[in-house]
Amino acid sequence: MMAYKEIVRNALRTFEDLEKWLAGRKAKVDPRLKDVIAKYPMRVNTYYLGLIEKINDGIWKQAIPDVEELAYYMDLSEDPLDEEGDIPLGGPRTIIHRYPDRVLLSVSNECAMYCRFCTRKRKVGDDQKNPSMEDIRKGIEYVASHEDIRDVLISGGDPLLIPTHRLDEILGKLKEIEHLGILRIGTRVPCTWPQKIIEDKELIDVLKKHTPKTIKEPQIYINTHFNHPNEITKESYQAVKILRELGIPLGNQTVLLKGVNDDMDVMRSLVHGLGSMGVRPYYLYYADLVQGTGHFRTEVYKGKEICRSLCGNTTGFLRPVYVIDAHGGRGKVPVDLGFSDGISEDKKGGTFTSPIGLGKVYVNDPIERIEGKRKKERGRLQK
């Protein structure tokens, strides 16, 4: 058995595992956590567990079950983004087709660690619901028969948890589809189980095999998921470096989580860490309204405040776009950070406030300017 496999094999999974681990830290386990774990599976692998520095820190909160998960909130649902509703009618269950030109292909319900705040809490950790290879093949056929699709987001669960020969088949088949320009793999493995990437040579060979050799082949991107600066370690750096050396561009999405990263200093050190790793922040998600995750939800303005503070105070390309995934599957909506409140299109400018200061902008409509110039030229010709 390879060492990286032991990391997940020895994960905390049962109430008894948790009890034992807590006892080792002289903490008592709440008996109600038994119900929490029965409802929402737990898996805290030994690597991620080792990142916990103290009780209730930003790592603990992401991984260790909380009785709050049983709290019921009126506005929360199991599937607020109505992902089930975007499965094509009568089509493969592995496809979520929300946007015209890109689809999500779900290939796994398993992850290296089950995040307590997961949007797909209704599905993950349930091996029974793991998509079959037959359904995945149907999903790929769906993509092949829809020429408008140019981007496939391979997701789950975590696509890097499936057997490597399956991933090989999926990437190989998708690569053959001529209308695809982009293949994205959404995975938390570089963050929660970097040893998989460091030690599993077979996986790296498969990724290498499918990275494009010409512009005709779709580019492979990896979108990963770091939420806290303590997740940036020498192991995660090494994993990211291996992927970068394959020529795979990496982006990161972060979920805004109460008590984890709803803090300007934490977020700044997270994006700086990502910058040093060569991973570009992509989205900062407002936490979706998912049943069992209500205690992670912040006010919307929190994310706005954090992004405003990053604006002007750090490298422009290290700023994620703050988005709210609209209820009912209406897609991601960028939140207006409110810098340009005083600037309107019908006025010639307005005021703005940025972290650097208060100021005025003058809007000189370029179309008007060109028109004016033309008029002048015309006038000259007529003379």
Ligand X SMILES: *Cc1c(COP(=O)(O)O)cnc(C)c1O
- Closest distance to ligand X from the beta carbon of 104 (Å): 4
Q: Is 98 a catalytic residue?
A: yes
Closest CA to 173 of 201, 130, 136: 136
Compare residues 8 and 111 and give the one whose CB is closer to ligand SF4. Answer: 111
283 lies in the site for ligand SF4, by CB under 6 A? no
Is residue 197 within a helix (H) or strand (E), and if so which, with residue range?
helix 194-199
Active site residue 116: no
Catalytic-role residue among 98, 137, 241, 280: 98
- What whole-number distance in Å separates Cα of residue 81 and Cα of residue 78? 9
Task: Select from 36, 118, 206, 287 the one that contacts ligand SF4 (CB under 6 A).
Answer: 118
Cis preceding linkage at 157, omega within 30: yes
3-state secondary structure of 296: helix
Angstrom CA distances, 48 to 27, 59, 83, 236, 378, stand at: 19, 8, 29, 11, 71
Site string for ligand X, 136-155 (x = CB under 6 A): -----------------x--
Angle of helix 201-210 relative to helix 164-175, nearest 10 degrees, comes to: 0
Per CB under 6 A, the list member of 98, 150, 241, 280 interacting with ligand X is 98
Q: Which long-range contacts (CB under 8 A, 24 or more apart) does 196-203 make?
A: 196/4, 196/112, 196/160, 196/239, 197/160, 197/239, 197/242, 197/243, 198/4, 198/235, 198/238, 198/239, 198/242, 199/2, 199/3, 199/4, 200/2, 200/4, 200/164, 202/164, 203/160, 203/164, 203/167
| Stretch of 91-99, 159-167, 364-372, 375-383 lying at the interface with ligand X (CB under 6 A) | 91-99
221 binds ligand X (CB under 6 A): no
* Selected range binding ligand SF4 among 7-15, 118-126, 204-212, 317-325, rule: CB under 6 A: 118-126
State the binding partner of 118 from ligand X, ligand SF4, none, CB within 5 to 8 A by kind.
ligand SF4
Q: Which is nearer to ligand X, 119 or 195 (CB)?
A: 119
Q: Which amino acid is at 368?
A: E
Active site residue 288: yes
Active site annotation includes 325: yes
Q: Is 47 in the site for ligand SF4 (CB under 6 A)?
A: no
Q: Both tokens of residue 193? A: 């189980």
CA dist list (Å): 171 to 164, 184, 199: 10, 10, 21
Q: Does 188 sit near ligand SF4 (CB under 6 A)? A: yes
State the catalytic residue, choosing from 93, 122, 304, 332: 332
Question: Is 205 marked active-site?
Answer: no
Residue 118 annotated to the active site: yes
Tell which positions 263-292 bind ligand X, by CB under 6 A. none
- Residues of this chain that bind ligand SF4 (CB under 6 A): 111, 114-115, 118, 120, 124, 156-158, 188
| Catalytic residue list | 98-99, 102, 111, 115, 118, 120, 288, 325, 332
- Residues of this chain that bind ligand X (CB under 6 A): 96, 98-99, 102, 104, 153, 332
